């Protein structure tokens, strides 16, 4: 059995960033911005000594919160493969933008990137006791994407299979 705990870091937190989908033939190829929001779904098979899945305070979620602000607060996200990348990097050199080079700028790609960062932190902080089950990236009320931890799903399935085997089913 897994315990779940959800932390919402909503768009009202001010993670306002700009980016573009350079590989599309729509208006999304132009620079546009969002105040991004993220929903973290944490899981653990055992609670910590306080009865928590993960500490949402400064000692636990604080490092994730700081990284979110570094990456998405008044920044310009540029896909690593954007053909105009050098021009965007020039904006940073001119002091006109805080550029962050990312693997991709879709909500799906951002959810995956945030998941990877959060998972590494949570795994280290809890010595493997807790994991990130999923991360949802919200562009606004109508658009969101979710990245689910494939290892977390396997972990739960394996635990269920072990329990069934122990019961002789």
Give the CATH number of the domain where residue 39 resides.
3.30.479.10
Q: List pLDDT tens digits, range 33-92.
A: 999 999 999 999 999 999 999 988 877 788 999 999 999 999 999 999 999 999 999 999
Q: Do the beta carbons of residue 43 and residue 152 sit within 8 Å?
A: yes
**Is the C-alpha dihedral spanning 127, 128, 129, 131 positive or negative?**
positive
Q: List pLDDT tens digits, range 14-27.
A: 799 999 999 888 89
Structural domains of the chain, count: 1
Longest dimension (CA), the chain: 68
Query: At which residue do the structure tokens 């089913």 appear?
Result: 169
Q: Do the beta carbons of residue 107 and residue 143 sit within 8 Å?
A: yes
3-state secondary structure of 13: helix
3-state secondary structure of 30: coil
Separation between Cα atoms, residue 129 and residue 133, nearest integer Å: 12
Q: Do the beta carbons of residue 99 and residue 89 sit within 8 Å?
A: yes
- Cβ atoms within 10 Å, residue 98: 15
Q: How confident is the model at residue 153 (pLDDT cuts 50, 70, 90)?
A: low
Q: List pLDDT tens digits, range 109-147.
A: 999 999 999 999 999 999 999 999 999 999 988 899 999
Q: Does 163 score more than 60 pLDDT?
A: no
Beta bridge partners of 103: none
Find the radius of gyration of the CA atoms of the chain: 18
State residue 155's pLDDT score: 56
Structure tokens at 61: 């979620």
Axis-axis angle for helices 62-72, 107-125 (nearest 10): 150
Structure tokens at 130: 């807790």
The residue range of the domain holding 69 is 3-166
């Amino acid at each position: 059995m897994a315990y779940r705990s959800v932390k919402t870091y909503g768009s009202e937190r001010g993670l306002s960033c700009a980016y573009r989908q350079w590989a599309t033939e729509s208006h999304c190829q132009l620079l546009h911005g969002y105040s991004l929001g993220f929903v973290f779904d944490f899981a653990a098979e055992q609670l910590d000594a306080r009865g928590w899945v993960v500490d949402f305070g400064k000692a636990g979620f604080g490092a994730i919160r700081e990284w979110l602000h570094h990456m998405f607060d008044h920044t310009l996200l540029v896909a690593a493969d954007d053909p105009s990348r050098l021009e965007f990097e020039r904006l940073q050199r001119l002091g006109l933008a805080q550029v962050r080079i990312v693997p991709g700028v879709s909500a799906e790609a951002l959810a995956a990137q945030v998941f990877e960062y959060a998972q590494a932190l949570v795994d280290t902080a809890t010595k493997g006791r807790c994991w990130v089950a999923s991360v949802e990236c919200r562009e606004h009320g109508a658009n969101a994407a979710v990245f689910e931890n494939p290892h977390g799903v396997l972990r739960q399935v394996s635990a269920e299979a072990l329990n069934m085997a122990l019961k002789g089913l």
